[in-house]
Structure 1
Amino acid sequence: MAMETDLIRIGTRGSDLALAQAHETRTRLMAAHGLPKDAFEIEVVSTAGDRIQDRPLAEVGGKGLFTMEIEERLSDGRIDLAVHSAKDMPTELPNGLHLSCFLPREDARDAFIGHSAQKLLDLPQGATVGSSSLRRQALLRRMRPDLNVVLYRGNVPTRLRKLAAGEVDGTMLAMAGLRRLNLADQVTEALPLTSFPPAPGQGAICIESRIGDERVDALLLPIAHEETASALACERAFLAALDGSCRTPIAGHARFSDGKILFSGMILTPDGRDAHEIETDGPAADAAAIGRQAGEELRRRAGPDFFASWT
């Protein structure tokens, strides 16, 4: 039975990947409620993070640069829900908004795409690798201190074009994004979660909406994925305990096994020389507490001087 509703307005960034994620959300909602495509309107919103391409995001404001303009439209009612990459979301959201739904998580691994070598460890000494992520840059420097790691901004197709043109010898992208864009055939090496741990939230699509919006809550309920929500509660609590932002090289990944959450986390200095890791587990019902305690423990181990080096 179709759900009776007015036009459902979905806010998103305008990149190919963001639009693919918005379209996936729409497709799932259409199937869950028997709705036609024209029951939805996808509104593309230009964000500061998309417009600023010449500097590291950490220098100009961090994660919120990809969400602020979209959240303004959500708060004032111009859109009904917003579709985001979970790893782009700050741990603190504007008053009145919440992450109300997570879709089933895609592959959380990082992918290496090599131009002069297919595998990261096979790159020649001094090769140039481009990345916009402080976490990936730090992990690259930790694994291969000899590499020339450079800032590499742009959406997925832009980065691939730069790579093909020989601007860098290799780059790192999220496997999930490449899969969603049908570009997984570009990957030359999928890096193990153990040796190259992902960003908290990597591979997950989240939906943000207004707290107390019963219409949207009912709309999203059938497509919400409980395991992904629990894993992200753990990872985001870990991030929050570390005051994580785009300034902080932080990795964290939660997964399910036999009814428990298994969590592994890491913090690094930007040069990759100093790192602290943790592995822990517990009941899925305690996901947020597990993540928070892991973050607090790493903060204690690292000491205040470690974090001072990030600012």
Structure 2
Amino acid sequence: MARKYSNLDLVDQIDGFPNITTHPEAFAKRTADHARFMHGPHIVGYIIPMVLEALKDVALSGDWWDITPGVVRLRGETVEERTKNIDETTRRWRDAKRFEILSGWRDERYTIYAPKGAPCFYMERSAHPLFGVVAYGAHMTVYIPATPTTPLRIWVPRRAAGKSTYPGMLDNTVAGGMGDGVGPWECIIKEAGEEASLEEDYVRAHAKAVGYVSYFYVRHKEAGGEAGLLQPEVEYCYDMIVKDASEGGPVPKPFDGEVAEHILMDVDEVVENLEAGKFKPNCAAVLLDFFIRHGILTAENEPNYLEINARLHRRFEFPTR
């Protein structure tokens, strides 16, 4: 029989790295062989042993790294110097096929932050899980509100079968990573057109910022590349109310080939698919947050309500944007 996932199971899937504040013993045990990736006095990420071994190979990785027991530092006095150095290292790894995850090289940069939202350096999107640094994205739930005769319904896309990550799984209506210089709002506008054929003017007029979810993901094999890589992440969340198509509401349609279809599901159908583990893990987290905000998931019907809510809004020990 297929496993039935509880809401807490779904959170465990996406927030699988021990929290240094709430579970210090588990954290100490887990990170005993990890290196702290430091910038000045601040931790910007964690580096697991197989990546640390690659960094120690100067012939492969270059001499832009200061490595002492338990600590790694990237050399460079300026943002530009640090960016150039980490780019050279990750390109060498890609060309040498050192890490499978780099086969998905995108030529898209993510911003890694120093304190107070200042850029520390920029790095290739596909490489960031190798260094355990925080990534950012934006997700939007497009839904039709309940009426006296119909339940609340959500537009749910199915990822294309040819996707390199989580092929065929269910997703949030609109979602994407935030590259260098792109804020969450513009990310949503862009992805709404590319993934769901939603008109820009309509999205700008109707989408609403509703908060965020944050978690510390330990990557599964289905994420692409090596399993066990570390990915702390913040997803800015948006809701957009639409009318039923029979009343002139927009119908999301695939555009860029990343989505196979869009399915209009009522809440019970979404819950059934969540319990079956059919949603991409971070998309399940966004939906749980949606359920909490809309009073679908409450302290009365969910025994782990407080833990779920807290872990969907994890506070990181790293500088953030």
- If each structure's helix is expressed as a fraction of its own residues, which one has the higher value? 1
Max radius of gyration: which structure? 2
TM-score by length of 2: 0.21
TM-score by length of 1: 0.21
